[in-house]
Structure formats: structure tokens, C-alpha cells
Amino acid sequence: MSSTSNTKSKSMPPHHYHHHHQVPCTRTHQIAALLLVVGTFFFTRLFDRSFAPCTTTTLLRTSQNQFFGPHAWPEQGYGSQLSLKIYVYDAAEIDGLNQLMYGRDGKITEEACLKGQWGTQVKIHKLLLTSRYRTRKKEDADLFFVPSYVKCARMMGGLNDKEINQTYVKVISQMPYFRLSGGRNHIFVFPSGAGAHLFKSWATFINRSIILTPEGDRTDKRDTSAFNTWKDIIIPGNVDDGMTKDGTTVVRPLPISKRKYLANYLGRAQGKAGRLQLIELARQFPKKLECPDLKFSGPDKLGRKEYFEHLRNAKFCLAPRGESSWTLRFYESFFVECVPVILSDQTELPFQNVVDYSQVSIKWPSSRIGPQLLQYLESIPDKEIEAILARSRQIRCLFVYAADSEPCSAMRGIMWELQRKVRRFHHSAETFWLHNGSIVNRNLVEFPKWELPMPLP
């Protein structure tokens, strides 16, 4: 076949396989072609870099340890943009929900509940009501938000533990969509160190639901932790609005050179080992560590301005554990521009898959609270402290409870984390499906015809 093919080729006129005379390829042509390829490669790289998105807000850890933002949530598991719908239950539509918000007599106010650690219960609820991701149609919702101010109501005498438990069970029994998903698509906020344990029967009724809490571990006090890393979300603590709002704040940070102390701890002892060690350390080194005897009630109560004035007067703000592993002091330190030093081994921090906390804080073993800690902190040059604080300014917007329409806010971060929790498929122990895709219960009744109250586990 080869000889036949060659014969045919030779017999064919030249224009059958060339439109013009072939120019011989010289070494000069080869060098020119190589230079063209190399030049094109470098020009393309330069062009790509020139038009790369400008990113300056959120710290992301990469293999080169560079920083990117502001919307640099990892695409894996999140999607390329926020796209979810959240239904917010109204207090009037479910019997008992009003009590979880305002107490048995309805005397608890939203304004009173905005303060302190439990303020996030109110803030998240109010921000969701005006969110672009809110839907008023249950059938369209990806997730359902259950408003509740129970921590505040309990602290102010509006509900006791037994009433909280009974009311939650009553409310859940009136939610068909809760039963449809086994609670997987329902969101609850528990903003204090007690976490979901405020609801005594949480393990029976909401063990599959999404829990928003600053508290990631309660195994130190309970046999079972209410926090599950697969479904639950760590949220930032509630920092005083006077320190997080744009413009004039309650106090402004001091220049590093004008700070009186190396470090401080502002809090009560509460009989906790780490806190007692810090108080003793301050007695030994009063010029380095400020640890005043603070009064949070009574005639000598420390005002919020005085509190933040103390907090800003040191280079490092020490954050030991209290009744539980998280502490509000960690978040407050970012707004007085004091480097937070975590002294709580079990603490969980929000948005850890986005923020590289090793670049904006220090975590020190709680078993090594002593002179060695102060020596280490003293060895850090002011130039490095300034660099840490500069990076901290970039990410602290993630600790501010502002609208999710803001390019960087706690609510926007929570929305991204919630999007990852969305389950498109209704699957629970009490749901079944037929060949045509209809969802039925054990009695083969289609979902739209389910009757209240719903049977509970």
C-alpha cells in the first residue's frame, strides 16, 4: 500500500496538495517562532494579573500564605454566589412562639435583650426580617428560622427552665416543615455559654437542626456536647454596638507606644483556674499585667466606656475561658486594636475555613499561664504587633452584626455558612416518597394534607 500511495502522490499535480510554493524553514524562523511563544506566555500572565480582582478584606490561608477577600468564601460546598431562601416564623402564627420571645407575660422587650452575650438572638432575627434572602412562602424556603429570646427571657425572669422546655416542644409540634425534614432545615440561635442546653430536651427534638452559637464545646460540663461540627455554625459574640459602628466609637484605640501595660485581663475570677492564675500573675507583675477587681453590678459597676478604656490600654488582651470555652473578650479586642491571646484550649472560632486566625491572634496553652507567658509576649517587637493589628482591621468586619447586603459582616458570613447546610432533599425518619416524587407520612398521607399538631419523636 505504501508504494501505491507514493505513486499516486507523485502523479498528482502540485496544486492538489499546496496552494503556493513551500518556503523552507530556516533556523531564523525557528528562533522567531520560539520568541513569539515565550513573549505571548509572559504577556498573557501580565494581562491576567493586571485584571485580577482587588481583594483586601478577608484573610484566607493559601499555600503561599497570602491574603484575599472580600468575598473569597471557598467555592467547594458553597457555590459561586449566595442563593438561598429563608422563611422566618412569625410570633403570631405558632402558639407559644411569643412566649419564647417575650416571656410568659409578654413583658420582655427586644431593646432589653439586645445587650449582653444574648443580643445575637435579637440581632439575627431582626436582620433576617429585612434580608434579601427572606421568603414569605414556606413552600419556597430552603431553611426556616425559629426566633427565640429564651436566654434573655430566662435571665430577666420571664421564663424558667421547665417553661422553656415545654414551650419549645409545643412550638415544634406545630411545624409541619420541621417534621418533613426531621428538623434539618430549621435554624435555632443559642447565644450563651449554655448553648442549646437551655432547651433541656434538645437532644430529643433538635439534634438534627442547625444551631447558631458562639459556644463550640460543652463536654466539660455535660456528657454530650450540643455542638456538631457537621451541621452547626459558630457565630461571633455580641460586641457593644458603640464599638462596632462606623464613625465615632465609644473609645478609640491608643497608639502602641502610649499603652501603659503589656497585657491585661478584664473579668471576674468566677473560681476558674485560668482566671485565678492571671490574677495572681498580675500581683507578681503589676507593671506588666493589669487585672483590676472589676464590679459588673452595684454602685461601683464599671461603665462601658471605662471598660473599653481599660481594654485598649495594653498591647495584648488575654482571653481565658469562663463558665464555658468561649469569651466575648476575644471579639472586643479587635475593636480596641489589642492583640487577643486565647487561653482556652477548647474554643471554637467563627468562619475558620475563611479566616486564618494564626495571623490575627495568639493561642497559648492554658496549662502554661505564668511568667513564661509574659516573657513570650514581651519578646514580640512592636513592629510585629502593628502588623498583626493591621491584618486584624481587615477581618473584624466579620464580627459586626450588620445587614447581609454589606460586603463584609457577621450576617453575610452566616449566610454563606447556612448555604452550605441546605439539603435539597426532604429525608427524615418520618418522610417517605412514592414513584411520582410525592412526599408522604407513615399513613401514606401526602405532605400538603398533614394535620397539626405533628407527632414528635
Residue-wise pLDDT tens digits, 189-241 = 998 878 888 999 999 999 999 999 998 765 555 667 788 888 999 999 999 99
Q: What is the mean pLDDT of residues 284-301?
A: 84
Q: Is residue 32, in this structure, part of any structural domain at all?
A: no
Q: In the predicted model, is pLDDT for residue 52 greater than 60? A: no
| 138 and 269 part of one domain | no
Q: How would you classify the pairing of strands 143-145 and 86-88? A: parallel
104, 163 contact by CB (below 8 A): yes
Q: What span, in angstroms and rounded, lies between the C-alpha atoms of 232 and 435?
A: 33
Q: What span, in angstroms and rounded, lies between the C-alpha atoms of 390 and 50?
A: 25
59, 394 contact by CB (below 8 A): yes
Q: Is residue 221, in this structure, part of any structural domain at all?
A: yes
| 308 and 169 part of one domain | no
pLDDT tens-digit map of 55-74: 334 454 433 333 335 447 88
pLDDT number for residue 116: 79
pLDDT number for residue 39: 62
pLDDT number for residue 62: 39
pLDDT number for residue 18: 41
Q: Considering the chain, what percentage of its residues have pLDDT values greater than 70?
A: 82
| 262 and 157 part of one domain | no
pLDDT number for residue 24: 57
Q: In the predicted model, is pLDDT for residue 185 greater than 50? A: yes
Between 79 and 447, residue with greater pLDDT? 447
Q: Is residue 58, in this structure, part of any structural domain at all?
A: no
215, 227 contact by CB (below 8 A): yes
Residue 299's CATH number:
3.40.50.2000
Q: What is the mean pLDDT of residues 284-302?
A: 84
Q: Considering the chain, what percentage of its residues have pLDDT values greater than 90?
A: 63
Q: What is the largest CA-CA distance in the chain?
A: 113
Containing structural domain, residue 223: 86-239+424-429
Cell match 507606644: residue? 257
Which of 265, 354, 382 has the alpha carbon at shortest distance from 317? 265
| 229 and 269 part of one domain | no
| 295 and 160 part of one domain | no
Range among 7-16, 59-68, 244-253, 396-405 with highest mean pLDDT value: 396-405
Q: What span, in angstroms and rounded, lies between the C-alpha atoms of 263 and 291?
A: 9
- What distances in angstroms separate CA 126 from CA 5, 59, 98, 107, 114, one per listed residue? 82, 28, 15, 18, 11
Q: How many CB atoms lie within 10 A of CB 223?
A: 7
Q: In the predicted model, is pLDDT for residue 430 greater than 80? A: yes
| 232 and 279 part of one domain | no
Hey, what's the cell of 314?
A: 495594653
Which of 273, 417, 266 has the alpha carbon at shortest distance from 349? 417
Q: What is the mean pLDDT of residues 120-137?
A: 97
Q: In the predicted model, is pLDDT for residue 283 greater than 80? A: yes
| HEC secondary structure over the chain | CHHHHHHHHHHCCHHHCCCCCCCCCCHHHHHHHHHHHHHHHHHHHHHHHHCCCCCCCCCCCCCCCCCCCCCCCCCCCCCCCCCCCEEECCCCCCCCHHHHHHCCCCCCCHHHHCCCCCHHHHHHHHHHHCCCCECCCHHHCCEEECCCCHHHHHHCCCCCHHHHHHHHHHHHCCCHHHHHHCCCCEEEECCCCCHHHHCCCHHHHCCCCEEEECCCCCCCCCCCCCCCCCCCEECCCCCCHHHHCCCCCCCCCCCHHHCCEEEECCCCCCCCHHHHHHHHHHHHCCCCEECCCCCCCCCCCCCHHHHHHHHCCEEEEEEECCCCCCCCHHHHHHHCCCEEEEECCCCCCCCCCCCCHHHCCEECCHHHCCHHHHHHHHCCCHHHHHHHHHHHHHHHHHHCCCCCCCCCCHHHHHHHHHHHHCCCCCCCCCCEECCCCCEECCCCCEHHHCCCCCCCC
pLDDT tens-digit map of 5-31: 444 433 444 344 344 444 455 666 666
pLDDT number for residue 256: 96
Q: What is the mean pLDDT of residues 72-101?
A: 91
Mean pLDDT of the chain: 84
Task: Report how far apart the first and last C-alpha atoms of the chain are (Å, whole number).
Answer: 80
Q: Is residue 143, in this structure, part of any structural domain at all?
A: yes
Q: What span, in angstroms and rounded, lies between the C-alpha atoms of 381 and 378?
A: 8
Between 370 and 69, residue with greater pLDDT? 370
Q: Is residue 408, in this structure, part of any structural domain at all?
A: no
| 185 and 277 part of one domain | no
**What is the total count of domains within the chain?**
2
Q: Is residue 74, in this structure, part of any structural domain at all?
A: no
| 149 and 208 part of one domain | yes
pLDDT number for residue 457: 67
pLDDT band at 169 (very low <50, low <70, confident <90, very high): very high
| 224 and 92 part of one domain | yes
| 281 and 176 part of one domain | no
pLDDT number for residue 132: 96
pLDDT band at 269 (very low <50, low <70, confident <90, very high): confident
145: buried, middle or exposed (CB in 10 Å: 19+, 13-18, 0-12)? buried
- What distances in angstroms separate CA 342 from CA 223, 238, 309, 348, 442, one per listed residue? 25, 17, 20, 11, 50
Q: Is residue 289, in this structure, part of any structural domain at all?
A: yes
Q: Is residue 246, in this structure, part of any structural domain at all?
A: no
pLDDT tens-digit map of 329-346: 999 999 999 999 999 998
| 199 and 318 part of one domain | no
431: buried, middle or exposed (CB in 10 Å: 19+, 13-18, 0-12)? middle
Q: How many CB atoms lie within 10 A of CB 301?
A: 11
Cell match 449566595: residue? 82
> How many Cα atoms sit within 13 Å of 234 on the Cβ side?
20
| 112 and 90 part of one domain | yes
Which of 346, 344, 349 has the alpha carbon at shortest distance from 360? 349
Burial 410-429 (b: 16+ CB within 10 A, else e): bbbbbbbbbbbbbeeebebe
